[in-house]
Amino acid sequence: MASLDSHVLMKLVSFYLSTLLVSTLVSSETTCRGFGSIISFGDSIADTGNLIGLSAPGEFPLSAFPPYGETFFHYPTGRFSDGRLVIDFIAEFLGFPHVPPFYGSNNGNFEKGVNFAVGGATALESSFLEKRGIHCPRGNISLRVQLESFKESLPNLCGSPSDCRDMTGNALILMGEIGGNDFNYPFFHHNSFEEIKELVPFVITTISSAITELVDMGGRTFLVPGNFPLGCSVIYLTLYQTPNKEEYDPSTGCLTWLNEFAEYYNDQLQTELNRLRKLYPHVNIIYADYYNALFRLIKEPTKFGLMNNPFPVCCGLGGPYNFSVGVSCGNKGVGCCDDPSKYLNWDGIHMTEAAYRLVAEGLLKGPYAIPPFDWSCLSSEVKNKESLDTQYSLMNM
């Protein structure tokens, strides 16, 4: 990335200090909360089976087929990975069962959590995007739709209005990751950069409005992820491959301009979260720095037990990264690596369980949660876990 001039540097320093100040104020007013459950919204990064639940027979997504789920569950669960996701490791850390999907769960046990995240979901309504020529292949499964499903399900989840307010207030609410597909869909079709950049304030306003609505319903703790380093995603490295070496970060091989877009979005999101923190000082709004939690793995993969080259895909076929657009993991004839635990990339878009575990550790134990979680009220056994790679059989009690 090019060097920064003094004006830009001062702007970044000012932004960092304001974020630090607000985060410190929030942290000083927030004591450790022993969460009662997890409520999740989002897309495929957090989907634990909802897309399957919404799919008609014969139209199941590829996440419904092997080798998805092979590492931990040993069968496909609808998760877009070989095993667990960030949400699963958070649940395990808190001593909860894995958060069940809401859609398609007729008799689901939602006592310790409920998940509305759907693979392919957008923050914005599909009609909004379609008017701009952006097609949503999964239809309208937007953040608004997920939030309405949550509101409609409340009588069955918690009963009386006061009980529901208590449930929402005692929950850790995961707001995503959501919004990534709003950019992915137009980027995948090579829409203009400026056109896509214009979507940023709309996406952030939508996320902010959902948080505000949940605060009004009693929500007190939110974990709000930013976007991953898009320029390091294998699908983007394939779609935007170029002989122009100046477009790549020489230290990582990632596409610089796409990472700069992700950084811009994340900065705008954090600015809005700072505004919400000032507006709701009694609410703990935590920014999940997915960008840097993953970027460190790309810069120094062997330090984290991954193979030296972070880009080859574990489940894929062809191309310089073992990935070809249109030849997807889960299809017949598409091979899978022998040891996914050494890989960062799973299918060219999503990460392996090993990568998600490391991202989750970075959030729960620092330093990639702003402000950091306060685990002072949790048992020493939980706080001192050396790894989030726990046994599900012990948690599913």
Copy the structure tokens of residue 31: 């004591």
Give residue 153's Cα distance to chain centre: 23
Q: Are 254 and 311 in contact (CB under 8 A)?
A: no
Give me the residue label for tokens 């957008």: 122
Q: How far apart are CA 171 and CA 165, in angstroms?
A: 10
Judged by phi (left if over 0) then psi (alpha if -120 to 50, else beta), residue 333 lies in left
Which residues touch 302 (CB under 8 Å, ≥6 apart)? 308
Contacts with 31 (C-beta within 8 Å, 6 or more apart), sequence order: 374, 376, 377
> HEC profile for 128-162?
HHHCCCCCCCCCCCCHHHHHHHHHHHHHHHCCCHH
DSSP state of 384: T
Residues labelled catalytic? 44, 347, 350
Whole-angstrom Cα distance, residue 141 to residue 102?
Answer: 13
Q: Give the span between the Cα atoms of 26 and 370, in whole angstroms.
A: 10
Using a 10 angstrom Cβ sphere, with 0-12 exposed, 13-18 middle and 19 or more buried, the burial of residue 269 is buried
Specify the 3-state DSSP secondary structure of 177.
Answer: coil
Distance CA 83, CA 93 (A): 16
CA nearest 365: which of 157, 125, 93? 93
| Kind of pairing between the strands at 221-225 and 113-115 | unpaired
Please name which of 141, 150, 159 lies closest in space to residue 115, comparing C-alpha atoms: 150
* Contact predicate 351/81, CB 8 Å: yes
